[in-house]
Structure formats: structure tokens, C-alpha cells
């Protein structure tokens, strides 16, 4: 690894009920840790964006659709 690179070694996500927030901790290879508090509003916004992005990335053409699974009735 060069001096400018860091690898993630650990990710931890916890919930603080009293503050109604998520605590995201990322442990890096150089033994540093990044902690980020995520509020409910930010979490809901991120979830909405991820949900929309997931639908945009789903295959829509027949050649990429999930294969049909043959049932025993269809084989007879």
C-alpha cells in the first residue's frame, strides 16, 4: 500500500435509542477510525435514494430476466 491508500478493516453500525440516531464506525488499516452520526432524516433520504437506484439497476429486458423454473407439472 502507498501512503495515500487506506483499506477498510471493519464496519460497525449501531443505534442510539435515546438520540434516535445511527452511529456508523469505519475502522481503517492504519488503525484510525471514522465515526459518523446519521439522523433519522438523513437515513430515510439515503434509503429512498438507494431504493430508487436499486430499481433503476434492475434488468428490464427479457434476455436479462430471471430464468423460468420448470415445475413437475410442466415436465409431463
pLDDT tens by residue, the chain, 76 residues: 456 577 999 999 999 999 999 999 999 999 999 999 999 999 999 988 888 887 666 666 555 556 666 666 655 5
The confidence score (pLDDT) of residue 59 equals 60
pLDDT of 41 reads 92
Model pLDDT, residue 24: 95
**pTM of the complete model:** 0.57
How far is CA 2 from its chain centroid? 27
Output the pLDDT for position 45: 93
Gyration radius from the chain CA atoms: 21
49-71 exposure pattern, b = at least 16 Cβ within 10 A, e = fewer: eeeeeeeeeeeeeeeeeeeeeee
Amino acid at each position: 500500500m502507498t501512503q495515500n491508500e487506506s483499506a477498510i478493516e471493519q464496519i460497525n453500525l449501531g443505534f442510539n435509542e435515546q438520540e434516535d440516531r445511527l452511529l456508523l464506525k469505519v475502522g481503517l488499516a492504519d488503525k484510525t477510525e471514522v465515526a459518523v452520526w446519521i439522523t433519522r432524516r438523513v437515513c430515510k433520504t439515503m434509503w429512498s435514494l438507494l431504493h430508487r437506484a436499486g430499481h433503476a439497476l434492475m434488468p428490464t429486458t427479457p434476455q436479462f430476466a430471471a430464468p423460468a423454473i420448470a415445475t413437475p407439472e410442466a415436465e409431463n
